[in-house]
């Protein structure tokens, strides 16, 4: 797995790479013949999302390559050794695109035959930037018959072109920019296609509901589409158990659900989708919560003097929790390959393509959505007042948990509105996050105490020394009590600042 950062350029048929020797040491040119088969569903679900999956022969990186977009000009590349079969995609790669294929068959949709001439910019043995001068012959096959798009009587559609790619290796972005400047000065123009495959297939764009420029509907739908993309992009990372992937996917699902609730006056008919997003966040939450609390205990134990760490506590709070975390990951993977998950993704696609928008969606974004932001904070204040009116301490603490959730929703709403409403929403999100953080610190301390008490009891039943559990419970109690004591001041300062803001 690696990160691919490159700039692509369209060039005339007679284009020649200019002299780049003043930028770095030069090696090459060296030529290769590359033949790649590209795989997709018949309706090009991968290409539509900017994903390429290929089997390539030739060059020094022959094999299977899956490229997932991360940002403009940046893709994550996952490789797999070359296999004999050209019909069966390796199971590991098939698994990583399930969020896009959703059970549809992968098959060969195109072939690229490229005569590549490579020039390398380097500093001694360290490669800095690779410039690939590619003369490409692309062939498009019909998804079922192997014939051209025009019908069974015609042959495959063939397209030829000349392009140049400058890929960053161990150099820096400044050097890549200088290379691009030299290439453009010699007659190259930045390519409008993200990849060769996109240029060849010209896949349809992701369906997105048309909305009026500057309208509330446009702001809301742009945000929802962005969060759907964020959720989908985390799916392959979760399947590979990459760092922070479960957290990011959970955040995307929560942001989507929060937006659908907050913008109910703009988009309607989303109750079922909200329920399913909550289900997905719950599935993801088990592994995430174990990951967080295991890391929390590890930090606390590492800070203790060695003589204070007794019994099997390192194993119980480390290896044992990690084993439970891995089991939770397996349940997540099962969920991500299930029909219920696919149905949710289909529903999200339908939501962004053909939403049920209200008349308010056509109103100017600034006027309508400023009111939404204010209403969401008023909701936090009302839930807070209700909680404070409860005399029973235990019930009041439970109600304060609802305050934290409401503050999170207000924060997410403000963040969604930042591109449209600007600095006021940046400030509102910051204030809401302060309330969320202090309440979250208290809640995390309470949950950690409960977990430690259960683990201590299990250790006691096993005849183990439980001294260190008591120490950690004391630390967590102190953390929770400090957050509890800090909250009134944080709330007063936040409420005062937001009154001025709204």
Question: If you average pLDDT over residues 280-306, what whole number do you get?
Answer: 95
Which pLDDT value is given to residue 367?
84
Distance CA 304, CA 319 (A): 19
Q: Is residue 413 over pLDDT 60?
A: yes
Residue 410's H or E segment, with its range, is helix 393-421
- pTM for the whole thing? 0.86
Q: What's the chain's length in residues?
A: 502
Q: Is residue 153 over pLDDT 50?
A: no
What's the 3-state SS for 74-88? EEEEEEECCCCCCCC
Which pLDDT value is given to residue 155?
62
Decide: 363 and 273 in contact? Cβ < 8 Å: no
Which pLDDT value is given to residue 3?
79
pLDDT digit string, tens, across residues 242-260:
989 999 999 999 999 999 9
144 confidence band (pLDDT: 50, 70, 90): very low
Burial class (CB in 10 A: 0-12, 13-18, 19+), 423: exposed
pLDDT digit string, tens, across residues 472-500:
999 999 999 999 999 999 999 999 999 88
Residue written as token pair 């945000």 = 223
* Beta bridge partners of residue 165, listed in sequence order: 8, 132
What's the 3-state SS for 103-166? CCCCEEEEEEEEEEEEEEEEECCEEEEEEEEEEEEEEECCCCCCCCCCCCCCCCEEEEEEEEEE
Cβ contacts of 51 within 8 Å, gap of 6 or more: 66, 67, 68, 69, 97, 100
pLDDT digit string, tens, across residues 181-228:
999 999 999 998 878 888 888 888 898 989 999 999 999 999 999 999
Distance CA 147, CA 156 (A): 5
Distance CA 123, CA 146 (A): 46
382 confidence band (pLDDT: 50, 70, 90): very high
Q: Is residue 143 over pLDDT 60?
A: no
Q: What are phi and psi of 305, to 5 degrees?
A: -65, 140
The count of other CB atoms within 10 Å of the CB of residue 62 is: 17
Q: Is residue 146 over pLDDT 70?
A: no
Which pLDDT value is given to residue 151?
46
pLDDT digit string, tens, across residues 332-360:
999 999 999 999 999 999 999 999 999 99
* Average pLDDT in the chain: 92
Share of the chain above pLDDT 70, in %: 97
Q: Is residue 70 over pLDDT 70?
A: yes
């Amino acid at each position: 797995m690696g990160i691919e950062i490159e700039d692509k350029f369209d060039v005339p048929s007679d284009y020649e790479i200019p002299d780049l020797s003043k930028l770095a040491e030069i090696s090459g040119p060296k030529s290769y013949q590359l033949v790649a088969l590209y795989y997709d569903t018949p309706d090009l679900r991968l290409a539509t999302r900017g994903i390429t999956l290929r089997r390539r022969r030739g060059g020094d990186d022959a094999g299977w390559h899956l490229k997932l977009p991360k940002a403009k000009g940046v893709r994550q590349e996952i490789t797999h050794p070359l296999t004999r079969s050209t019909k069966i995609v390796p199971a590991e790669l098939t698994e990583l695109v399930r969020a896009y294929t959703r059970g549809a068959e992968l098959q060969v949709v195109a072939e690229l035959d490229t005569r590549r001439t490579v020039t390398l910019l380097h500093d001694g043995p360290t490669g800095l930037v690779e410039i690939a001068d590619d003369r490409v012959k692309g062939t498009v096959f019909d998804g079922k018959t192997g014939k051209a798009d025009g019908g069974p009587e015609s042959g495959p559609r063939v397209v030829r072109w000349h392009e140049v790619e400058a890929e960053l290796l161990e150099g820096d972005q400044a050097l890549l920019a200088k290379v691009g400047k030299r290439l453009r000065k010699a007659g190259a123009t930045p390519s409008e296609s993200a990849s060769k495959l996109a240029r060849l297939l010209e896949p349809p764009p992701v369906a997105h509901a048309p909305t009026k420029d500057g309208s509330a509907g446009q702001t809301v739908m742009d945000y929802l589409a962005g969060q759907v993309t964020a959720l989908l992009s985390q799916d392959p990372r979760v399947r590979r158990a990459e760092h922070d992937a479960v957290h990011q996917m959970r955040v995307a699902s929560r942001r989507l659900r929060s937006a659908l609730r907050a913008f109910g006056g703009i988009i309607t008919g989303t109750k079922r989708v909200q329920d399913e997003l909550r289900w997905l966040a719950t599935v993801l939450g088990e592994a995430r919560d174990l990951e967080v609390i295991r890391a929390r205990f590890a930090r606390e134990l590492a800070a203790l003097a060695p003589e204070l760490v007794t019994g099997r506590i390192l194993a119980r709070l480390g290896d044992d929790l990690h084993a439970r975390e891995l089991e939770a990951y397996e349940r997540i993977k099962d969920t991500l390959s299930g029909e219920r998950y696919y149905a949710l993704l289909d529903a999200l696609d339908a939501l962004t393509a053909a939403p049920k928008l209200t008349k308010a969606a056509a109103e100017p974004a600034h006027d309508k959505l400023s009111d939404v932001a204010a209403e969401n904070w008023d909701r936090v204040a009302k839930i807070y007042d209700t909680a404070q009116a409860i005399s029973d301490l235990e019930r009041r603490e439970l109600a304060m948990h609802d305050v934290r959730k409401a503050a999170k929703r207000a924060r997410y709403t403000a963040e969604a509105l930042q591109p449209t409403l600007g600095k006021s929403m940046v400030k509102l999100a910051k204030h809401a996050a302060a309330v969320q953080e202090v309440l979250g610190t208290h809640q995390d301390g309470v949950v950690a105490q409960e977990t430690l008490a259960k683990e201590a009891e299990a250790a006691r039943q096993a005849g183990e020394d439980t001294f260190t559990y008591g120490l950690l419970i004391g630390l967590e109690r102190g953390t929770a009590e400090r957050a509890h004591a800090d909250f009134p001041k944080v709330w007063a300062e936040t409420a005062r600042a937001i009154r001025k803001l709204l």
